[in-house]
Amino acid sequence: MRRTLALLLLAALLLTVGWLSLSSGTLALSPLEVWRALTGDAAEPAHRIAVAGIRLPRLLVAAGAGAALALSGAILQAVLRNPLAEPGVLGVSSGAALGVALSHAGMLALPVLPAALAGGFVAVAIILLLAGTPDPVRLILAGVGVGAAAGAVLSFLSVAAPVLAAQQILIWMTGDLNGATAERAALAWSGLALGLPLAALGLRHLDLIALDPASATSLGLNPRKARLGLIGVAVLLAASATAAAGVIAFVGLVGPHLARRIAGARHATMLPVALAAGALLVTLADLAGRTVFAPVQAPAGIVAALVGAPWFLYLMKRPRHG
């Protein structure tokens, strides 16, 4: 009951924020004007361009990337049995961003999404190799180190690359949705379309692995195989989100934690809430970033970090994660 209410509330909030992002900006529109622009019955061509051409792709990128990041974070938290795991802090997003940047600079002969995937997988492989023990803090720190290495190479590229590529790299590093296109929206949503069914397939494993890997084995599951598969799904989700929206940290942390608080620990009930919460967080961060300081636009990734980093510190401070 509580969960249904929360889901309804989240959906309503998401719709409201979505509507606000479509209507606000330099060209402020009324709800009716937004509706007419969306249905192809715009009063002025400018309305159609602003709403359908600029703001809608941006909204779709934000919602798709946010949902994918939250799902990725939820999977990583369960599989690594680590409440602080999250693609941004673990360096998976930075690895993916590095792949994207290399592809843009012409140093990696792969299209954007495979390049992001390759970067994300390399990052995760290094982390798993380095952090052999199950010490949760050590695992996250290995991720921090990998993220720092990827970030250093990224800033080197941003100096070395031609100006246009350098600018794109800088944009990826801060998670800026300004100028998001329909292609980028397609990137985010195709990752989600692939990752969501796969995550649904692994639902049973998720619950078992998160609670108790030993009993998972006795029930006839192969936790090692399931774990690797699920990590692959998490990387896919984080990489597609990063390819579409850049590095946005902490959404993968805050989304699942909010969801767990609302809907409990079972993944079947918690994941839908996490998806909605993640989508809401990034759309809200983007809306705030472009309206609060208007005419200056603050990247959604920075706004998300300003909210998410204190949350992370708060989670760390709570004694049961010691």
Partner 1 sequence: MRPAAPLLGASLLLALLFALSLATGGGAVRLAEAAAAFLDPGDDLMHMIVRTIRLPRTLIAVGVGAALGLSGALLQIVTRNPLASPGLLGVNAGAALAVVALATLTAAPPAAATALAACIGAFAAGALSHAIAGPAGTLRLILAGAVVTLLASSLAALLLILDMRAMANSRLWLAGSLADRPLALAWVLLPPLAALASLVIAAAPLFAILMLDEATATGLGARVVLVRLGALVLASALAALAVALAGPVSMVGLVAPHLARAFVGPRPGRLLPLAALCGALVLLGADILARIVLAPAEVPAGVLTAAAGAPLFLMILRRHGRERAA
List residues near partner 1 by CB under 8 A.
84, 89, 126, 130-133, 135, 137-138, 140-142, 144-146, 148-149, 151-153, 155-156, 159-160, 174, 249, 293, 296-299, 302-303, 305-306, 309-310, 312-313, 316-317, 322
Alpha-carbon gap, residue 191 to 313, rounded angstroms: 30
- Tell me the closest approach of the beta carbon of residue 215 to partner 1, in angstroms: 25
Q: Write down the residue that tokens 């992002």 correspond to.
A: 21
Residue 131 or 271: the one with the smaller Cβ distance to partner 1 is: 131
Please identify, using beta-carbon distances, which residue of 74 and 89 lies nearer to partner 1.
89
Smallest separation, CB 69 to partner 1 (Å):
16
CB 145 to partner 1: min, Å = 4
Amino acid letter at 190? S
Give the span between the Cα atoms of 98 and 155, in whole angstroms.
Answer: 10
CA distance 299 to 286: 7
Residues ≥6 apart with Cβ < 8 Å to 144? 89, 91
Which residue's CB is nearer to partner 1, number 90 or number 199? 90
Q: How far is the CB of 38 from partner 1 (least distance, A)?
A: 31
Cα separation, 291 vs 268, in Å, equals 36
Q: How far does Cα 118 stand from its chain's mean position?
A: 17
Token couple for 18? 């979505």
For partner 1, give the closer residue by CB, 31 or 179.
Answer: 179
Q: Supply the DSSP symbol for 171.
A: H
**Shortest Å, Cβ 287 to partner 1:** 16
Measured from the CB atom, is 138 or 224 closer to partner 1? 138
- Confirm if 310 and 186 have CB atoms less than 8 A apart: no
